[in-house]
Amino acid sequence: MFASTLRRFEGAPAARANLRREAIDREIARDRAAPGLGLTLRGLSKSFDGGKPVIDGLDLHIPAGQFVAVVGRSGCGKSTLLRLILGLEAPSAGRVAVEDSPRGDAPRRIMFQEPRLLPWASVLDNVAVGLRGGTAAERRARAASALTEVGLAEKAEQWPATLSGGQRQRVALARALVSRPGLLALDEPLGALDALTRIDMQAMIERIWRAQGFTALLVTHDVAEAVALADRILVVESGRIALDVAVPVPRPRRRGDPDLAALEGRILDHLLDGRG
């Protein structure tokens, strides 16, 4: 049943590129205003020291508010793509166009696999790091509100060393959310967590995404996580998008859903044997 959902771009490279650009133009025209940031990649490429492209001529549109997961083997270019979208790397060619958000300033933020908390600062002060504008009391109030969103209001004055691994990741999530981002990039943020904590964090991320409406871009090796969370999955191979997959299962999603399992299996088959 997923034959129409899994799309493979066939034919000559120029024909594939033209078809993708035409599809992007149609998606942009249909895009609705949302709190998140819309992104359009045009001919995006990245090489290091003149070597083989890590990202190779990508054309892609991500509508505002969409939850997109990026999967692929190690070294395929997933994290480089994320850094290009965030502006942390300059492209060798092409560009990333960021659409205006209806609510004005809507920054791009990232959550890493490691919490990267300051051990000498309280949990509250870690969340408030980087906040600008307003008084110190107002910034602390915003940080306290973000901690409440991730269920850690009672830990505000504790030190990071007193927290569990899952709690530290929730602090990192609150720090990414405190500035109300238009785009939240998630670079393998749950990879080091145990299975149950990971499931809890996935549910929390989905709940907050639904409430706030930001655009979410998740890089993960876990295909089950991708199909559970995302509206759309991009499979990257050698710096190119090999599959662009819509997830047709409505929310809330149930673990063990046969449609999700079938989609996960098809993506895994593609990653394992390259046939799709």
Yes or no: say if 151 and 166 are a contact pair by the CB < 8 Å rule: no
Asked if the structure places residue 86 within a domain, the reply is yes
| Apex 217 CA angle, 95 and 261, nearest 5 | 130
What's the CATH number where 223 sits? 3.40.50.300
Identify whether 4 is part of a domain. Answer: no
For 168-190, what is each residue's pLDDT tens digit?
999 999 999 998 899 999 999 88
Predicted confidence (pLDDT) per residue in 237-246, tens digit: 988 999 999 9
The encoded tokens of residue 25 equal 């133009």
Residues 6+ away with beta carbon under 8 Å from 185: 82, 85, 86, 108, 109, 110, 111, 217, 219
Same domain, 83 and 197: yes
Q: Is the pLDDT of residue 60 over 90?
A: yes
Cβ-Cβ contacts under 8 Å for 18 (sequence gap 6 or more)? none
Same domain, yes or no: 77 and 151: no
* Percentage of residues in the chain having pLDDT higher than 90: 63
Q: Within a domain: residue 20?
A: no
218: DSSP letter: E
Q: Would you say residue 42 lies in a domain?
A: yes
Q: What is the dihedral of CA 226, 64, 214, 231, to 10 degrees?
A: -20
132 in any annotated domain? yes
139 with 246, same domain: the answer is: no
Residue 25 has pLDDT above 70, yes or no: no
Same-domain status, 147 and 54: no
What integer pLDDT is reported at residue 36 of this predicted model? 86
Shared-domain flag, residues 221 and 202: yes
Tell me what the mean pLDDT of segment 86-106 comes to.
Answer: 80
Least confident piece of the model among 32-41, 50-59, 108-117, 250-259? 32-41
Range of the domain at 57: 34-107+191-229+238-275
